[in-house]
Structure 1
Amino acid sequence: MQPTDILLALAVVIIWGSNFVVIKLGLQGLPPILFTALRFLFAALPLVFFVKRPTLPFRLLAGFALFQFALQFTLLYSGIELGFPPGLASLVIQLQVFFTIGLAVLLLGERPHLPQIAGALIALAGMALVASQLDAKPTVIGFVMVIAAGLSWATANIFSKQMGKVNAIELVVWASLLAVPPLVVASLLVEGVDAWIKAATQLNWTSAWAILFQSYPNTLVGFGIWSILMRKYPTSTIAPFALLVPVTGMLSATLLLGEPMQWWKIVAGMLVLGGLGVNLFGTRVGRWLNLQRAG
């Protein structure tokens, strides 16, 4: 990779990792569903007037919008609001990788490889360690909601697998627009008009900055750069950078929010990242070893 592209990939990792801190800050003045709706409203506007709709069947676009944006982030924001630490959330949501593998087996008839199964078992050991350390009921519920957010992300990945080649910016902008109406309705039904009024009267620069950061650097810039790099280089070159997202997420939460870095978080992080690494590199390492033996 060219040095500038490495820097761009690292910039995306930092943006996506620190985003969990921004979520925590934004939730101080906004209810989670309304916060999610505002994020995708601004991600869609004004670009939706200048970017054409992707040439996809509507069911794929709508399904992606529902699971990737509306459900995933409502669950993630709600889990963090209930007290689940944002740094830890950046780690737990990476279970989406293994949920995607499971759904692909069930729905698309794909066959998992041994490294994928081994990686999932290692990562699940990390999740079991996290679960064993949670004692407050709201935090446990938040943990379950973040796991559900990962499952929603994985479901969106199944929709993505059926899309073929598509322009990432077109997809993000139009899926953001489609995510807004159900989020607005859900916010009115669940959080109520009073929550909207309270959020409007208490709106400050922190809340406004959190919304804009979610919409532009995190959603549009992050996905845009990632899409360019994915088209420019092999997936095997770019994908490993995603392993750094929970690392930057946990570090930024520790540095900016004072989230404690207990021993079990470090061990759980090593297990989850180790499982992701086995999933990502295990098959290639096995092939390399076979070639070495054959040679």
Structure 2
Amino acid sequence: MTRRDSLLAVLVAVLWGGNFVAIHLGLEDVPPFLFLAIRFVLVAVPLVFLVPRPKASWQAVVAVGAFMSLGQFGLLYLALSIGMPAGLASLVLQAQVVLTIVIAAVALDERPSRRQAAGALVGTAGLVVVAVGFGAGASIVPLVVTVGAALSWAIGNVVARAAKVESGLSLVVWSALVVPLPCLAVSWVVDGPDVMVEALAGFGWTALLSTLYTVVGASLVGYTIFNGLMAKHPASSVVPYILLVPPVGMLSAWLVLGEVPNLLEAVGALVMLVGVTVAVTSSRRPAVVAAAPS
């Protein structure tokens, strides 16, 4: 890639890495599912009236929205709201790489190369070490929910692959329509209408800036740049840059939130990143991975 495109790829990683801290800050004032509904309303409107519908069946668009957006981010927002550290979440969510390879092998009969299989095993071992380190100091539930978010993302990757859906801006915008109503319904049941009204009435600057960052920076700008790079260059040239997301996420969480991983979490993070790196940089068979985490 040219130097300009390389810098754009780094910019995407920075935007997506910082997104976890932005979400964490916004969740201090707004319940998770209400906050997610607001985000995806703004992702979809008014662009849904301006961007053509993706060239895919409604079933495929709805399935991608259900797994990549609703399932992934619903569980991620929930995990962050119940105690998952933002920096660690940016790492654990990358378990989707390993899970996508496994699910694609089962569902699509896409056999991974030996290098991808080795990377998946190493990445899984790293995730186990992270889990042990995390569980030693707190409830492991937020970590399990974050892994659930990664699993939902991985299923969405395979659905998109099977349906031959291109990961363009149109897919991001139109699949966003799947998210708001279910999230509002969950928030109504879990939080109650009084809490929802109170949160909307007290929607302050922190929540507003967090929403703008996730909508404009992470979703629209990040996806637009990323998809443009994927259209110009081989995936093997672009996807490795996204491995910068966890380090950026963990660094920003340390600087802004004061999050410092313990020794086991740090070791597990390093092992997991090595495994993911091996899996996505395989030269023999490209992994079925949607590398956009936000």
Scaled to the shorter chain, the TM-score interval is over 0.9
Given that 1:126 and 1:272 are in contact with CA atoms closer than 8 Å, whether structure 2 keeps it comes out as yes
Q: Distance in 2 between matches of 1:95 and 1:166?
A: 22
Structure of higher CA gyration radius: 1
Q: Give the structure 1 partner of residue 68 of structure 2.
A: 68
**For 1:4, what is the secondary structure of its paired residue?**
helix
Letter of the 1:38 counterpart: I
Q: Give the structure 2 partner of residue 145 of structure 1.
A: 145
Pairwise CA distance, 1:190: 2.4
**For 1:133, what is the secondary structure of its paired residue?**
helix
> Is 1:232 paired with 2:232?
yes
Q: Give the structure 2 partner of residue 117 of structure 1.
A: 117
Q: Distance in 2 between matches of 1:138 and 1:277?
A: 28
What are the ranges of 5 or more consecutive residues in structure 2 without an aligned counterpart?
286-294
Counterparts of residues 129-144 of structure 1 (less than 5 Å) = 129-135=129-135, 139-144=139-144
Q: CA, structure 1 residues 218+139, in 2 after alignment: closer, same or farther (shift >3 Å)?
A: farther
Q: Distance in 1 between matches of 2:118 and 2:167?
A: 34
**For 2:134, what is the secondary structure of its paired residue?**
coil
Letter of the 1:211 counterpart: T
Given that 1:68 and 1:152 are in contact with CA atoms closer than 8 Å, whether structure 2 keeps it comes out as yes
Q: CA, structure 1 residues 149+224, in 2 after alignment: closer, same or farther (shift >3 Å)?
A: same
| 205-214 or 125-134, which deviates more | 125-134
Q: Give the structure 2 partner of residue 217 of structure 1.
A: 217
Q: Give the structure 2 partner of residue 291 of structure 1.
A: none
Select the structure that is richer in helix: 1
Q: Distance in 2 between matches of 1:168 and 1:192?
A: 36
Counterparts of residues 260-279 of structure 1 (less than 5 Å) = 260-279=260-279
Counterparts of residues 155-234 of structure 1 (less than 5 Å) = 155-164=155-164, 166=166, 168-234=168-234
Q: Distance in 2 between matches of 1:281 and 1:166?
A: 21
Q: Give the structure 1 partner of residue 290 of structure 2.
A: none
Q: Distance in 2 between matches of 1:92 and 1:111?
A: 24
Given that 2:127 and 2:269 are in contact with CA atoms closer than 8 Å, whether structure 1 keeps it comes out as no
Counterparts of residues 19-34 of structure 1 (less than 5 Å) = 19-34=19-34
Q: Percent identity?
A: 40
Q: Give the structure 2 partner of residue 293 of structure 1.
A: none
TM-superposition CA deviations, 1:158-185 (whole Å, max 9, x none): 1210233636111111111222222222
Q: CA, structure 1 residues 143+261, in 2 after alignment: closer, same or farther (shift >3 Å)?
A: closer
What are the ranges of 5 or more consecutive residues in structure 1 without an aligned counterpart?
288-295
Given that 1:40 and 1:179 are in contact with CA atoms closer than 8 Å, whether structure 2 keeps it comes out as yes
Letter of the 1:72 counterpart: Q
Number of corresponding residues: 285
TM-superposition CA deviations, 1:220-256 (whole Å, max 9, x none): 1111100000001111100101111111111110111
| 19-28 or 3-12, which deviates more | 3-12
**For 1:134, what is the secondary structure of its paired residue?**
helix
Q: If the length of structure 2 is used for normalisation, what is the TM-score? A: 0.92
Pairwise CA distance, 1:155: 0.7
Q: Give the structure 2 partner of residue 100 of structure 1.
A: 100
**For 2:225, what is the secondary structure of its paired residue?**
helix
Q: Distance in 1 between matches of 2:193 and 2:280?
A: 46
Letter of the 1:267 counterpart: V
Pairwise CA distance, 1:137: 8.9
Q: Distance in 2 between matches of 1:136 and 1:51?
A: 48
Q: Distance in 2 between matches of 1:74 and 1:197?
A: 20
Q: Distance in 1 between matches of 2:90 and 2:145?
A: 13
Pairwise CA distance, 1:138: 6.6
